[in-house]
Structure 1
Amino acid sequence: MNPVRRRRLLWVLLLLAAAGIAATLVALALQRNATYLYTPAEVLRGEAGEHARFRLGGMVEKGSFQRAAGSLEAHFRVTDGDAQLPVVYSGILPDLFRENQAVVATGSLRDGTFVATEVLAKHDENYMPKEVADKMGAAHKKHDVASDTAGSGN
């Protein structure tokens, strides 16, 4: 092989190696930033993993919101109608945040409490994130079927 062809082959191999490394780095970065949405029932069943970062979706349970005077740390429970999960968030909550409204929080589970790093609230009267609505609807259907089956043993 003459020196010109060898140099071209070397450049092509270096370009392919660089493209492979870049693609791997991009895939790793996207995978690390991917967060999945779970309902409280799914989290309590262990589907989210103990220390994984994920999104928790559901409704802020009525009567569960607490904040100490002069503190930015908020405590509340998120429910999907079947299960409740305590949430702790330190920061300024969105203006639309309130009890009995849809919420999506990003964070991780620590000692049975969801520690949120970000909280998003619904934006109008009829809105609930589609993922949350779908998962809550599926959870209720499973619950209704289980109730019907348990009640039919007469």
Structure 2
Amino acid sequence: MTRKQRRLTLILSGLATLGVAVGLVMFALRDNIVFFYGPTELAQKATPGGARLRLGGLVKAGSLQREGDQTVRFAVTDMKQDIEVTYTGLLPDLFREGQGVVAEGALGQDHVFRADSVLAKHDERYMPREVADALKKQGVWQENGAAEAAPAKGGAQAANVK
């Protein structure tokens, strides 16, 4: 075998090993990869039924409904589109209408998002990065760090999304 052939064999075997390693990593992570969508993106994309994903936006004012002890129903909005969400469990203490939220779960055939975990902001200056980026992409984000929320009864309401 000539020197050139040995070098080519070494390079090809290295590439094959790298390919197998990447394939094994992707196979191991296939169940752990969760994509993030805003309500408008989720409404526009055809997601496979039962696929795990994250939905982020603002909790729409006036949409929070309690159904029993631990089941809640609310809408997540990006001021252009709303997605109905159901969640069974304890909500974070800071969860409330007009605030940023990220829900992880799956979109059902009835276009209701069934969340198995809900994350809320931890103080008045925090907005999850995915939610802030989605609001910026939709043109809702304002430079002073506030997004215009849907008007509440009796006046306008603004949510701080810094």
How many residues of Structure 1 are paired with residues of Structure 2 in the alignment?
A: 124
Q: Which of 86, 89, 94 in structure 1 is aligned with 2:87? A: 89
Aligned to 1:139: 138
SS in 2 for 1:59: strand
CA distance, structure 2, for counterparts of residue 86 and residue 123 of structure 1: 23
**Aligned amino acid, residue 68 of structure 1:** E
Describe how 1:48-127 pairs up with structure 2 within 5 A.
Answer: 48-69=47-68, 71-110=69-108, 111-127=110-126
CA distance, structure 2, for counterparts of residue 63 and residue 125 of structure 1: 20
- Contact persistence 1:38–1:48 (CA under 8 A): no
Residue 31 of structure 1 deviates from its aligned partner by 2.5
CA distance, structure 2, for counterparts of residue 65 and residue 26 of structure 1: 40
Deviation per residue, 1:90-133 (Å, 9 max, x gap): 11111111111000000010021000011000011021111211
My pick for the range that moved more, 80-89 or 131-140, is: 131-140
CA distance, structure 2, for counterparts of residue 102 and residue 135 of structure 1: 11
TM-score if structure 2 supplies the norm length? Answer: 0.69
User: Which 4+ residue blocks in structure 1 deviate beyond 2 angstroms?
Assistant: 22-27, 47-51
My pick for the range that moved more, 110-119 or 47-56, is: 47-56
- Contact persistence 1:60–1:101 (CA under 8 A): yes
Select the structure of larger CA radius of gyration.
Answer: 1
Structure 1 unaligned regions, length at least 5: 1-15, 142-154
Structure 2 unaligned regions, length at least 5: 1-15, 141-162
The root-mean-square deviation of aligned C-alpha atoms, in Å, is: 2.2
CA distance, structure 1, for counterparts of residue 118 and residue 65 of structure 2: 15
CA distance, structure 2, for counterparts of residue 54 and residue 47 of structure 1: 12
Structure 1 or 2: more helix by fraction: 1
Residue 23 of structure 1 deviates from its aligned partner by 5.8
TM-score if structure 1 supplies the norm length? Answer: 0.72
